[in-house]
Structure 1
Amino acid sequence: MPYAVIAHYRCPAEDADLVRESLLTMREHTRKEPGNLAYEVHAEEGAQPPAFILYEQYTDRAAFDAHAASEHFAQYILGTVRPRLTDRTVFFAETL
């Protein structure tokens, strides 16, 4: 059964361009993963401070775990995006 991840990120305005760029780079890497079905990056309209919404879908939980253990996840999410966030909410769900 497909496994979905929905994340909501907020960052200071001065970090928004770097966070956006990193998320878009992450999207390109993630879409090449064998277990990835979708990786969409959205900018929340009119949000102040800036906010991003991610929708990710994987073939199963194991595919997501492999994604979270990847080198690009460590570099772009753990190393660049998360240190710049002021708020982070993540939901995990099975796709019905």
Structure 2
Amino acid sequence: MTMVLAILRARPEQADALEAALREVAGATLREPGALAYTVGRQDGERFLVVERYADRAARDAHFAAPYVTGLLARFPQLLAGEPQVEFADELSTHAR
């Protein structure tokens, strides 16, 4: 399995718009084959954490090629106060109930 961690800081006036867009992408992502989880958290009003899990790299790559993802990425200059921080990793362990 593979995972993605993204830290996004919204422009203050765009924070609610970013939240809405992330919620929309989360719903669409869970309909993708190989998408296991897409979690969005909001911190301090303008900071967002996104944790994504995929069955494999092919599923992750397909996600980033989806039109709703490329559309959101194209809006980042308008929505974000700076560059997104994005990390990719192979998942070693998961503990969940």
- When normalised by structure 1's length, the TM-score is 0.88
Partner of 1:78: 73
Residue of structure 2 equivalent to 1:66: 62
Q: Distance in 2 between matches of 1:11 and 1:31?
A: 24
Q: Distance in 2 between matches of 1:79 and 1:19?
A: 12
Runs of 4+ in 1 over 3 A off after TM superposition: none
C-alpha distance in structure 1 between counterparts of 2:11 and 2:36, whole Å: 30
TM norm structure 2: 0.87
Q: Specify the alignment match of 1:54 in structure 2.
A: 50
Q: Following TM superposition, by how much is the alpha carbon of 1:72 offset from its aligned partner in structure 2, in angstroms?
A: 1.1
Query: Residues of 1 paired with 2:67 and 2:11: CA distance?
Result: 26
Provide the residue aligned with 2:95 in structure 1.
Answer: none
Distance in 2 (alpha carbons) for counterparts of 1:7 and 1:20: 14
Query: How many equivalent pairs are there?
Result: 90
Show the 5 A alignment for 1:1-96.
2-44=1-43, 46=44, 50-75=46-71, 77-80=72-75, 82-83=76-77, 84-87=79-82, 88-96=84-92
Using the aligned pairs only, state the percent identity. Answer: 37
2:65 and 2:74 mapped to 1: Cα distance?
13
Unaligned runs of 5+ in 1: none
5+ unaligned residues in a row in structure 2: which ranges?
A: 93-97
